[in-house]
Structures are given as structure tokens and as C-alpha cells.
Amino acid sequence: MDYDLFVIGAGSGGVRAARMAAGFGARVAVAEDRYMGGTCVNVGCVPKKLYVYASQFSHAFSDSKGFGWDAEAAPFNWATLRDNKKAEISRLNGIYRNMLAGVEVDTFDGRAKLVDAHTVEVNGQHYSAEKILIATGGWPFIPSFPGSELAVTSNEIFDLEEFPERIAVVGGGYIAVEFAGIFNGLGSRVTQLYRGPLFLRGFDPDIRAHAAQEISKSGVDLRFELNVDSISKTDEGLQLELTDGSSLSVDVVLYATGRKPHLTELGLENVSVDLADNGTIAVDEHFNTSEPSIFALGDVIGGMELTPVALAEGMSFARRQFDRLNKDVEYDFIPTAVFCQPNIGTVGFTEDEARATFGHIRLFKSTFKPMKHTISGRDEITFMKLIVDKASDKVVGIHMMGPDAGEIIQGLAIALKAGATKAMFDSTIGIHPTAAEEFVTMREPWTED
């Protein structure tokens, strides 16, 4: 064999698996047909967070007046943000390539296609490998309807030639919610359309309701139970015909209605790799597919589509296959954040999940105006929620919407992994004055059953 491991896809999971395997002495190659670092580095978490930072300056200019700063909002230059982002992503691409080279991993620029269970083809050349790992990630999906080709996805939205004065964001997941906040903060007139009664499906119901309230107050025009029938070009931009019979004129339509596994031209027809009903690659808990020599991990297997999860899976795979360390990924109490404005941070069970799992629970809730906004004057309310298993007193869910929610929840996730009880939270002294201290000062249950 040419290699012990051939990895298809140089995203977070693929690169981590390749580096770890090479560190254990394996001969490794990686093929990537688009960009080093995958979705997260190029068209996902990294550029998105940079754009979130950019969008928050408009709020800062406004907030500063109450603190004595006679500041006017400065004009925003889209090209500066876009081009500076490109330079930073290019730098990160180089870092990923150098990391692989540093452990003597061969890299191929091109789409790898499976020829058989031990052979891949890249740019017309065949390479044999004892094990093949598929880590090709996901790809944005736009449903087919009249004019759907006029919409853009999260892949293209970062690099628009012109800044959209008016934008429609279609979708109700975290990507849609985040981009609605980004363009609202940058100065666009944003309309967010979602076909259901309330967005952020899968999140705690209180968080979903609070998010709708706060995002609407920020200036985003939220329209629920509404969808797009068609998109057409006009002299004034794009016209959307909506399912309620109304129309909407915008400059850009961003579709963030879901992602599908990126399996195009992968050659799966040449091997015995089974797919799940939702089109993802079916694997067991050790990332084995139905083909003994082929494995898969990350977004392509349809689990939690989070960069740190793919990293953990890549590490677990490499250790099991090349270091004989059989430690599975633990999927309980994985924290996550939605970088809308204000942020959402969450870890553990939602209220509905906790009731179904534990039966009797206690809920603790708190809402308050952030200290900063008592002077800034901004109409923004922070929401916090603790969910406690009544029988064991363990805290099994924490949910927050407010400034720095992601930073706060990361630390609390450790407490939940360690099995912390509500009594431990109560006995912990808070840092004053912070929002985070509220999590250790909530004494009276909102409700218990």
C-alpha cells in the first residue's frame, strides 16, 4: 500500500485525524478539492465570528453616548471587511497546510474519488491505502423552486461584490439567525423568513421565545409561518413572492435552510458503503462504515455539526486505529453557542428533553437588564435558565441568551460533565458584578414537578 491512511477532506475532523495518525507513525495522505481547513475556517465559524465582531461596532457607537462619548456611527466599508477577512483566511489556510507538512503528511489538491475499497484517484493518479477516511463535511442546500438559482448560500455570502442594503434571510436555524444579526448590525434592512411558528428548532423553548423577542427588538423583521414561492429579477433588485400572497423587494436572498453531506463525485458507487435514510454515511460508534477498510466522521455522518465534535472524532479515530487506545467520543453535555445578538449559549438537556429523561425536574429562571445597558439605554434583556433533575439534584441543562453567553457556558459545561449539583452551584461564590454570577445565586425555583 502507498499509505496506511488516506483522508478525503481537509476540514477540522480530517486534518486532526491525519495529524494524529501521522504522529503515531502512520503513512498518511490528505486530499482536499477546495480549501484547507474546511467549512469552519473558510465559510463557517471563523469568518462568521469576524463578521459578528464587525456588526457589533454599530451597537457600540450607539451605546457609548450614555457613557459620555460624543460618538457618531462611522461609515461602514464592506470591501475593507471582506478583503481583511480573505487575508486572514488565507493565513489560516497556510497554517493548516504547514501543520500537515510538519508531520510529513502528503497533501493533494483535488477531489479524491473512491476506485475500490483500498484505492482512491486524485487528478488522474491512483493511490492505495490500508484505511480510507471520508471527512468531506456538509454542503449548503437550496430547495428547487422558480428563481432558486438567484439565491446565495452561506458559502457565497461572505464575498458579495456589493453590500446589500436590503437582504432576505430564509431559514430558522442558527446560521440564518446569525447572518440576520450580522447584516442588521452592518446596516442592512433585514427580513428573516421561516416556515415554522418559531425558529431555532431543537433549542430550549424559553430560549427560542426569548430570542424571537430580542432579535425582533434589534431591528430584524421576523416573519414566521411564511415561505418563498418564487424569486425574480427586477430593475430594483430581486422580488420575492411569498406564500401569504405578499411580495418583498431585496438586493440579496440568503438561503440557510439546511446542509447535506458533501458526497458528490466521491465514488461511493464503487464500494459497499451504506447511507442512512437522511443521506449521511452510516457508521457505528467507532466510525466504521459497512466497508471494513473505509471510515467516516464529522458532518458527513450526520451527528452534531460542530467543529469541536469533528476534532474529537478525528482524535478518537486516530487513537483507536493507530495507537490502540480505545476511547470513544462522549457526546453528553456538549456546549454550543449561537452568535446572534445577543449571544445564545447552551449545554445539556432542554426542558422537554429533561422531562422525558428524568421525569421530575426543577426549573430556575432569571431575566434582567445587563448592567451596561442601565446607562447605554439599549432595550435588551438577558435570560438565564437552569434545569435540575429533582431526584439527584444534578444540574442537567443550562441555557442563556445575553452578552458573552458562549464564553460563560463553556466554563459551566465542565461543571455539568463533572456531575455538579444545584447545591454545589448554590455554595459557589460568584464574581461581582458579572452576569455569570446569576447562575450561582438563583435560589427559588421557577417551577418544580
CA pair distance 224, 211, nearest whole angstrom? 13
How many domains, the chain? 3
251 with 165, same domain: the answer is yes
Closest of 412, 408, 406 to residue 435, by C-alpha: 408
Q: Which residues contact 441 (CB under 8 A, 6 or more apart)?
A: 430
CB atoms within 10 A of CB 431: 9
Q: Which three cell numbers stand for residue 248?
A: 418583498
pLDDT at 96: 96
Whether 389 and 354 have beta carbons less than 8 Å apart is answered as yes
CB atoms within 10 A of CB 219: 13
pLDDT at 448: 85
372 with 427, same domain: the answer is yes
Q: Which residues contact 87 (CB under 8 A, 6 or more apart)?
A: none
Q: Regarding beta strands 3-8 and 28-32, do their DSSP bridges make them parallel or antiparallel, or are they unpaired?
A: parallel
Which of 234, 257, 280 terminates a domain? The answer is 257
56 with 135, same domain: the answer is yes
301 with 377, same domain: the answer is no
Q: Which three cell numbers stand for residue 59?
A: 451597537
Which of 238, 257, 276 terminates a domain? The answer is 257
Q: Is 432 a catalytic residue?
A: yes
250 with 269, same domain: the answer is no
184 with 118, same domain: the answer is no
136 with 12, same domain: the answer is yes
Q: DSSP secondary structure string, 394-408?
A: BEEEEEEESTTHHHH
Residue 110 in any domain: the answer is yes
CA pair distance 139, 241, nearest whole angstrom? 26
Residue 348 in any domain: the answer is yes
188 with 227, same domain: the answer is yes
CATH number assigned to the domain comprising residue 363:
3.30.390.30
pLDDT at 72: 79
CATH number assigned to the domain comprising residue 34:
3.50.50.60
CA pair distance 445, 426, nearest whole angstrom? 12
How confident is the chain (449 residues) per 10-residue block, as mean pLDDT? Answer: 98 98 98 95 97 96 94 90 98 96 97 98 98 97 97 98 98 98 98 98 98 97 98 96 97 97 97 96 97 98 96 97 91 97 97 97 97 96 98 98 97 98 98 97 91
Catalytic residue among 59, 262, 286, 432: 432
Expressed as residue numbers, the domain containing 171 is 148-257
7 with 126, same domain: the answer is yes
307 with 399, same domain: the answer is no
Residue 327 in any domain: the answer is no
Q: Which residues contact 279 (CB under 8 A, 6 or more apart)?
A: 260, 261, 263
Q: Which residues contact 274 (CB under 8 A, 6 or more apart)?
A: 281, 282, 289, 290
Distance set, CA 27 to CA 30, 148, 345 (Å): 11, 44, 40
Percentages of the chain per state (helix, strand, coil), in multiples of 5: 35, 25, 40
Residue 183 in any domain: the answer is yes
Which of 209, 230, 257 terminates a domain? The answer is 257
Residue 331 in any domain: the answer is no
CA pair distance 38, 32, nearest whole angstrom? 9
CA pair distance 311, 316, nearest whole angstrom? 9
